[in-house]
Structure 1
Amino acid sequence: MTGSPPTSGQAFVAALGDAAAERLWYDWPSWARPEQLPPEGGWRTWLILGGRGSGKTRAGAEWVRARAADPALDGPIALVGETMEQARAVMVEGESGLLAIHPDDEVPHFDRARNAIRWPNGNVALLMSGAEPERFRGPQFAAAWCDEIGKWPKADAAWDMLQFGLRLGRNPQQVATTTPRPTRLIKRLVADPLTAMTRMRSADNAAMLAPGFLDEIVGRYQGTRLGRQELDGELIEDRPDALWKRGELEALRLGDRPALGRVVVAIDPPVTGHKRSDGCGIIVAATCEAGAVVLCDRTLKPAPPLAWAKAAISTYGAFDADAVVAEVNQGGDLVKEMLRQVDPNVPVIAVNATRGKWLRAEPVAALYAQHKVRHMAGLSELEDEMCAFGPDGLSDGHSPDRVDALVWALTELLLGKSVPRVRRG
């Protein structure tokens, strides 16, 4: 039997009986969709771009299960999630995670304290976080499963460090499962000749989704940019209504740092500082002969008040900046006080916005169109956020912390008092 179970799945399973139905459930190759099975050929990376609920997580977990079942596996398997929390919740303990897809006599043991999984045959998998690239120094792997690489906060660095460690055995391979986003890393993998790419739509997995899910969600988002990305698994290069385009930003990138004039560190502090709150955008920019250059992105997340204040002051010192520009809409006195608590001698320019994010960003986008702004290398996360920033004031549904800080920095450097409704204090 190939492909998904029949649409009359309940009757089919009932006719099998409990024991046969259970055997079928765990016999993944017999009923997986063709695109959920490993492609043929000499690939190093299997990139699965899938919509929500398309079955990409199950495909990744089953690939790991098959590799772990090999007694001749030459080393541990890396399980890399967006964060350690996400790796545990989705890749290990989720409905389609590793603990759920094994029959009882093959279920691996999950050691939460060590973030490790051990199979009955002795093979091991280690959980890793895409937010902590430095932790990839040292460990070696024979295989890797990387989940939601489009959301990794330090994607390029984490991926590159993983590659140095993926070196055990005759054929070290990796699977990357993700909802597609036009990030630098995903574009690299798509262009890599050693990547085998699979696309999955949410509708392809209709038999496994809750009744009414597709009718409701498809009806609402079908044909939209968000729907094409989140449901159809399409990699959409540019947001049509975005103020910035990737090709334009790449053309503005500099190899060597120019002579600098005035340097500012702009910050967009969050309202709260718990794990799920917004980050604190921290952007360094300076005037130069061409206009201005964006030097560095030191955005912090999560960002408790004292942590972002210390990060801002540290960045100020590292770049020998002239001032810190801080948005004070959310608790203005507190923002200034936190910065002065760390260093009372640092000049703070407090800015208060009375216009929406999009309207504030438009004059800054015009500076880019006039080639008055340049970027140094290493700003991929900022650039991803810029290209996803829409009229709703969000970037892919999230607060654009980096864009907010960028706008304040360039407004201060190049637009100054010519921009209405921005008060300095």
Structure 2
Amino acid sequence: MREEKWRNLLRRAMQLRAHERRRLFELLPPPAIRAIDEEWGWQRLDGQIEPEGEWRIWLLMGGRGCGKTRCGAEWVWSLARAHPDARIALVAASLDEARRVMVEGESGLLAAARSDEAPLWRPSRGELAFPSGAVAQAYSGAHPAMLRGPQHHFAWCDELAKWRRAGEAFMNLRMGLRLGTRPRILVTTTPAPVRALKAIVAAPDTAMTGGRTADNPHNAEDYLIAMTAEYGGTRIGRQELDGVLFEDVEGALWEREMVERLRSPEMGTVAGNCPRLMRIVIGVDPPASAAGTCGIVACGMDADGMAYVLGDHSIEGATPNGWALKVAAAVEQWGADRVIAEKNNGGDMVGSTLAGAAPHLPVRLVSASRGKVARAEPIAARFEAGQVKIAGRFPELEDQLCGMTAGGGYFGPRDSPDRADAMVWALTELFRPKREPRIRVL
């Protein structure tokens, strides 16, 4: 069968319902099925076609299941075949996701290999060697230091909106993309209103394509019906299914405009014990796991009752002693008079850990009876009333704040707003009503 006949067959098949497509392909001989499956040019959708022009970043931002991973894998394969000396970066939210999704997934690089291609995957090294000689290396967007030093010709970044330290990791990646005559990056991601993704959208060297979940004919019809019934027409449906990037999360407790309006950058250069502040408190949200983030945020209040967010000292992947020392350093830097630490994750161990790192820390342990977002609502009201200012720029903290919604939802980066929670604990302490002295009658 000539190539044009295959193309016509594929076009007709894409217009059929899923069960009709399956019946059609069951009638084809295995060589025909393999030929169709291995020829990406016959299958790709409009949003999966590489843009024309002299772009440096291709942003494929689409709904879940629209074919982003398959497109990324096929793009990397096309580069590996054309550039035998290529060094390619594979960056995901974690090394585990790079392995499970980008390389070993059902739409990943191993699955996209043709029948006559045998790439060598070394999972212990996170390295994929292509038959041409090109090599791809896996990295984690949660650890920007991994990308400081290595050089690459090309890079594929998957689900960038989920990366813990997206801004810093993407910056390091771009600085190392200096091999060859035309280095390029493909970013495949579901949209989320995070700063790093919005910066990529706004960059002059970015070319954008997109896709909807419903556009991909390989998605099960029952799945599409269920998702449309539950999320069709809603804001989250437009984001997660249609690939629309919104500036603010619907119902967000903090909006970007409010954050910018309350920013007081002149305070951000003040170190040590600010003479204009009457109290300084360090809020601490201990990590729930060894790989988690310990939220550590410094806040202060002046004589007029105006509160300030002074600094984000949060740390990831640290030992208990490591994050306790970070708390002690923040206390010393700001001359804080109190540390407020949540003890739900760790109980009394939190207090003993802090005491072991710095015996004289003025620590008060608190227990959380409500969820993080519910605790944040009264503090968000303080911001809205103009009673809190932000003394600097804290991108990761601000992204978490803008992901918290009224009613308890969280749609920001990462699974938990740990930095935001640490800030809430500190400000809750600063706004705590003072007890009036009681007069005893003898």
Offset at residue 113 of structure 1 (A): 2.7
Question: Does 2:320 match 1:311?
Answer: no
Paired position in structure 2 for 1:132: 143
* Cα distance in 2 between the residues matched to 1:357 and 1:138: 38
Offset at residue 19 of structure 1 (A): 0.7
Contact 2:94 2:141 (8 Å CA) reproduced: yes
* Cα distance in 2 between the residues matched to 1:18 and 1:377: 62
Contact 2:265 2:390 (8 Å CA) reproduced: no
Which of these residues, 42, 49, 53, is aligned with residue 41 of structure 1? 53
**Larger Rg over CA atoms:** 2
Paired position in structure 2 for 1:218: 228
**Contiguous gaps of at least 5 residues in structure 1:** 420-425
Paired position in structure 2 for 1:422: none
Paired position in structure 1 for 2:439: none
* Cα distance in 1 between the residues matched to 2:38 and 2:329: 53
Q: Deviations over 1:298-337 (max 9, x none)?
A: 3344566445434333433344432211123455433222
Offset at residue 363 of structure 1 (A): 2.8
Paired position in structure 1 for 2:364: 349
Q: Deviations over 1:118-176 (max 9, x none)?
A: 11111111111111112222211111100111011111111111111111112111100
Report the more deviating stretch, 391-400 or 34-43: 391-400
* Cα distance in 2 between the residues matched to 1:246 and 1:28: 41
Offset at residue 418 of structure 1 (A): 6.3
Instruction: Map 1:21-420 onto structure 2 (within 5 A).
Output: 21-71=33-83, 75-205=86-216, 207-257=217-267, 260=274, 261=277, 262-270=279-287, 272-273=288-289, 275=291, 279-288=293-302, 291-302=306-317, 305-330=320-345, 332-355=347-370, 357-396=372-411, 398-413=415-430, 415-417=431-433
Report the more deviating stretch, 57-66 or 11-20: 11-20
Structure 1 pair 91–330 and aligned structure 2 pair: CA distance change class (3 A): closer
Q: Deviations over 1:354-389 (max 9, x none)?
A: 455445323322222233322244411111111110
SS at match of 2:267: coil
Report the more deviating stretch, 164-173 or 292-301: 292-301
* Cα distance in 2 between the residues matched to 1:143 and 1:405: 38
* Cα distance in 1 between the residues matched to 2:220 and 2:101: 18
Paired position in structure 1 for 2:14: 5
Aligned AA (2:57):
T
Structure 1 pair 183–403 and aligned structure 2 pair: CA distance change class (3 A): same
Offset at residue 240 of structure 1 (A): 2.5
* Cα distance in 2 between the residues matched to 1:418 and 1:242: 30
* Cα distance in 1 between the residues matched to 2:303 and 2:204: 40
Structure 1 pair 387–24 and aligned structure 2 pair: CA distance change class (3 A): same
Q: Deviations over 1:266-297 (max 9, x none)?
A: 01224x4255xx64322122235782322332
Report the more deviating stretch, 227-236 or 288-297: 288-297
TM-score by length of 2: 0.86
Report the more deviating stretch, 245-254 or 281-290: 281-290
Contact 2:84 2:132 (8 Å CA) reproduced: no
SS at match of 2:14: coil
Count of aligned residue pairs for this structure pair: 413
Contact 1:361 1:407 (8 Å CA) reproduced: yes
Contact 1:150 1:178 (8 Å CA) reproduced: yes
**Contiguous gaps of at least 5 residues in structure 2:** 1-6, 436-442
Aligned AA (2:179):
L
Structure 1 pair 355–16 and aligned structure 2 pair: CA distance change class (3 A): closer
Contact 2:193 2:249 (8 Å CA) reproduced: no
* Cα distance in 2 between the residues matched to 1:342 and 1:225: 46
Contact 2:161 2:192 (8 Å CA) reproduced: yes
SS at match of 2:169: helix
Contact 1:273 1:303 (8 Å CA) reproduced: no
Aligned AA (1:242):
A
Q: Deviations over 1:217-257 (max 9, x none)?
A: 22122222222211111111112211110122123334333
Instruction: Map 1:14-25 onto structure 2 (within 5 A).
Output: 14-25=26-37
Q: Deviations over 1:194-226 (max 9, x none)?
A: 111112111111x31234212222212222222
SS at match of 2:266: coil
Contact 1:273 1:305 (8 Å CA) reproduced: no
Aligned AA (1:367):
R
* Cα distance in 2 between the residues matched to 1:356 and 1:331: 17
* Cα distance in 1 between the residues matched to 2:100 and 2:391: 36
SS at match of 1:214: helix
Paired position in structure 2 for 1:423: none
Aligned AA (2:47):
E
Report the more deviating stretch, 28-37 or 392-401: 392-401
Structure 1 pair 376–38 and aligned structure 2 pair: CA distance change class (3 A): farther
* Cα distance in 2 between the residues matched to 1:355 and 1:115: 41
* Cα distance in 1 between the residues matched to 2:135 and 2:333: 42
SS at match of 2:383: helix
* Cα distance in 2 between the residues matched to 1:304 and 1:219: 45
Report the more deviating stretch, 367-376 or 163-172: 367-376
Aligned AA (2:14):
P
